[in-house]
Amino acid sequence: MSPNPTLRQTATLAITLLLALLLVTAVSLTLAHGGGSPAWYFTDNLDATGPSDEITEMEQALLDRLNGAATSIDAAIYDFNRNSVRDALLDAHGRGVTVRVVTDDDARNHSTYSLYYDALEAAGIPVIDDQRPGSLMHNKFFVIDEEILWTGSANLTNRGFTVNHNNSLVFTSTLLAEIYGLEFQQMFDGSFSNAKSATLTTTLDYNGRPLQVYFSPQDNAIDALIDEVAIAEESIHFSIFFFTSADLANAMIERQQAGVTIEGVWDLLGAASPFSQDESLCAAGIPIKIEDYFGFMHNKFMVIDAHGPNPRLITGSMNWTGAGNNSNDENSLILHDGATAVAYYDAFRVLYDTLSDDRLCDYTVEQPYQVWLPLIVTPPGSPPPPDPIDGDNVVCQETGQTQLCAWVSNGTPPRFSTVTVYGRLLTSGSGQAGQVMETSWHYLTTTSHCDGLTGSDGVAHCSRSIGGATVGFQVNIEVEIEGQTVTTWFVPE
């Protein structure tokens, strides 16, 4: 029996309508994620207790793009020990994709990361480092097929994806990829830091949304941040690792005094910097929470007027510091887009609200030997120092009849513990009392201090919390008494 033509036509029409409905639904779902907005990713590490090999959502998003690369991958990266990313770059190179890498010299030669860079070079992938000990190539961006840009705060490490708190954005734009590609090419050709030329195009249109791009140090990104803060109308919410710019802090205080709501989440280690601006903001009445998570608060983002008439997001690799603005190779973006701003505001709320109120800063309480840094300066004689022979990492230097020794209470302290550094000055074998000991603690790109005073035995000491210092990263402590200096150290475990 032949099919009924009318039924066949009806069925065909129904299928056509169904396909159209499915297409409309698919488009609607796409637009619900922000339409022309970039894709955004946040690490989900609030419950982390250590690094994991499990592939994260952010990591998988990057791998998908690397695995889909057809012609080229230009990678400007810093710390690097994630197997999945190494393998994806090697696989791309193996299938004929042109892969190029620029990095920082300290990261390139670091014992934790050098094996990963070596693997790329052994396969024929060029790796160019900045060869500038005084500054960092601190970017974390990829330009893929001259069309896709990946950028943000996440280093390509086990901790970067599974322990620390980071964000990443993915843009599809040949113009934006070209701008980042030109920055990459300068570094690949050997021009880093202040040797680079200024960016010719800093403002562009991204799917109808204004987008500003700034590279450090040539574009003076911190001034752009200050300009945005200065015109905030309703709110500012930020999550930051290191923030030492007094000008940016003053701009926030001025807006707070004008009635703008401001809240911030600060990394514990970043707040321990003697130049950190958390104290000045807190003293002005701005609620700041100092995190106590297992991982670093490694974000560098700010959301301005998230629910206002001109919502915008500031993010990138740059900490808000002098080094980040004036010497490091960094990238910063300011995106005027409501959907993205709200997504980052929501991410901020999770970070801020998860922290208890006892993490709020309070500088109204007088503490004679302790401030919020946290930094403890202990008066001589309490507690008594241990026998120097029993200390860890004892280093001594003799000049004539004078001997200066330095050591630490624990050479392999656990994270979030307190380390005490000791200095002993002897002249002709006798202790020299009443001498000031100054110490400088060097960790990554930061230096902090604590001081002590020698007792009758010639020993001075001071203590400080090491916060969430990275496991395996050596912290060097310069100890100076009476013009003599020795260096001891510890390595968090």
DSSP 198-214: PPS--EEEETTEEEEEE
Residue 233 makes CB contacts below 8 A (sequence gap 6+) with: 260, 305, 308, 309, 310
**Distance separating alpha carbons of residues 24 and 29, to the nearest angstrom:** 9
Count CB atoms within 10 A of the CB of residue 398.
Answer: 11
Tokens standing for 330?
Answer: 């960094």
Residue 118 three-state SS: helix
Give the CA distances from residue 417 to residues 153, 253, 337, in Å, rounded to whole numbers and listed in that order.
26, 32, 42
Structure tokens at 170: 């993915």
Cα(64)–Cα(55) distance, rounded to whole angstroms? 12
pLDDT confidence of residue 364: 55
Whole-number pLDDT of residue 216: 96
Contact 98, 123 (CB under 8 A): no
Class of domain 36-359: alpha beta
Phi and psi dihedrals of 329, rounded to 5?
Answer: -85, 115
- Altogether, the residues listed in the chain come to a count of 493
Task: List b or e across 363-384, with b for residues whose CB sees 16 or more CB atoms inside 10 angstroms.
Answer: eeeeeeeeebbbbbbbebeeee
Phi–psi pair at 327, nearest 5 degrees: -140, -35
pLDDT in tens, the chain (493 residues): 444 444 344 444 443 433 333 333 332 222 223 347 999 999 999 999 999 999 999 999 999 999 999 999 999 999 999 999 999 999 999 999 999 999 999 999 998 899 999 999 999 999 999 998 878 999 999 999 999 999 999 999 999 999 999 999 999 999 999 999 999 999 999 999 999 998 877 899 999 999 999 999 999 999 999 999 999 999 999 999 999 999 999 999 999 999 999 999 999 988 888 889 999 999 999 999 999 998 999 999 999 999 999 999 999 999 999 999 999 999 999 999 999 999 999 999 999 999 999 999 875 543 333 333 333 334 444 333 334 456 888 888 888 888 888 899 888 888 778 888 999 988 877 887 778 888 888 876 667 778 888 887 888 888 887 776 666 778 889 898 888 888 888 888 7
Q: Where are the alpha helices (DSSP H) in 232-303?
A: 246-257, 268-271, 278-283
Integer Cα distance of 469 and 493 in angstroms:
9
Q: Give the whole-angstrom CA distance, residue 420 versus residue 449.
A: 12
Task: Give the per-residue pLDDT at 452.
Answer: 83
Q: Are strands 330-335 and 312-316 parallel, antiparallel or unpaired?
A: antiparallel
Give the integer Cα–Cα distance in Å for 410 and 393: 8
Query: What are residue 423's DSSP bridge partners?
Result: 406, 460
Closest C-alpha to 161, from 239, 51, 302, 238: 51
Q: How far, in Å, CA of 473 to CA of 490, rounded?
A: 9
Give the CATH class of 370-490: mainly beta
- State the pLDDT at residue 428: 79
| Number of Cβ atoms within 10 Å of the Cβ of 389 | 8
Residue with tokens 């991958």: 73
What is the per-residue pLDDT for 469? 67
From edge to edge, which strands make up the β-sheet containing 39-42? 39-42, 167-172, 148-152, 141-144, 72-76, 98-103, 127-129
Closest CA to 304 of 337, 269, 268: 337
**Domain parsing of the chain, residue ranges:** 36-359, 370-490
